[in-house]
Amino acid sequence: MNGNRAVRQPGLDELRLLAKVARMYHEKGIRQPKIAAELNLSQARVSRMLKQAVEVGIVHTVVTMPSGVHSDLEDELQGKYGLRDAVVVDTVGDDVLPALGSGAAAYIDMTLTGGHVIGISSWSETLIAAVDRMPRKSVPVVDRVVQIVGGLGDAAVQMQATRLTARFAELTGGMPVYLPAPGLVGTPAVRRAMMNDVSVRDVLGTWGQLTDALVGIGSLEPSPLLQRSGNAVAESDQEELRRLGAVGDVCFRYFDEEGKHVRSTFDQRVIGVTAKELLAVPRRIGVAGGERKYSAIRAALLGGWVNILITDLAMAEKLLGE
């Protein structure tokens, strides 16, 4: 009876991870425990995936790449930039958000194994797209979901930041931890005062416990969402950052084209995770793509601001084509 059982055909995002696991095991000779550790999966999950790769026809005597899966490019990105992992997705037309959201949702869903403390950036359209596409886990796999950049701002769009943290926590079974402060304030003195507030300090204490950070990668020009949020970077701040060589940011922490942290007066007004705290998080998952983000993404990789990249095919080829 089992011999006649129809094999469920996985979706493209699941095929992508199946193909990655199959190549690591069959072509590179990596043992299952090491695969599990590198991809943040359980060993039992790796074993099931290898069996499934055979069932759906990915594995014969060699690994056959399904259409739309770019494991070779992912391997090259890992090697060139020293990444822990990479996911490359196909896009339709100029709008990369749907594909990036789908790819990120599938990757995050499949690599959450339990006990995570996840920091999540507030103002990222790619992260909103990812969380909108995530399935609900049947059992809790996350302990806490912590906001790592202030989310207060214009009331009309402030709900986006709160909703992002709340929805991700709801889907993964974690407890949401909100940062009750704006992402950007007027002066360093105001920032110091707010950082000493007891409700803010309680959140700051969790940042050293993060196992994962889920972030977008921003260019110097604010996204439309950030512009509407009340936390957008003013033109005078952009001029200062541009003068100092900034090309992009993660969580409002700006860096130059080589990925080095740019220290500025703007930096002293941000209420959010520090560069040092962010770089200490074991898994730093960056979700970003689109032509205008090239300089920022490249710099983020060179500086180690993210060690897992989820991006689109055109961006991957550009990053590798230098």
Overall CATH class of domain 2-55: mainly alpha
CA gap 112, 110 in Å, rounded: 6
CA gap 73, 311 in Å, rounded: 11
* Cβ 215 vs Cβ 306: under 8 Å: yes
Which is more confidently placed, 6 or 71? 71
Q: Which residues pair with 85 in a beta bridge?
A: 308
Considering 4-8, 17-21, 158-162, the range whose residues carry the highest mean pLDDT is 17-21
CA-nearest of 278, 181, 277, 262 to 220 is 262
CA-nearest of 131, 20, 87 to 312 is 87
Q: What pLDDT is stored for residue 1 in this prediction?
A: 41
Q: What pLDDT is stored for residue 2 in this prediction?
A: 46
* Cβ 172 vs Cβ 137: under 8 Å: yes
Domain ranges of the chain: 2-55, 71-320
Per-residue pLDDT reduced to its tens digit, 122-138: 778 889 889 999 999 99
Please give the CATH number for the structural domain made up of 71-320. Answer: 3.40.50.1360
* Cβ 30 vs Cβ 24: under 8 Å: yes
Per-residue pLDDT reduced to its tens digit, 68-100: 778 899 999 999 999 999 999 998 777 898 999
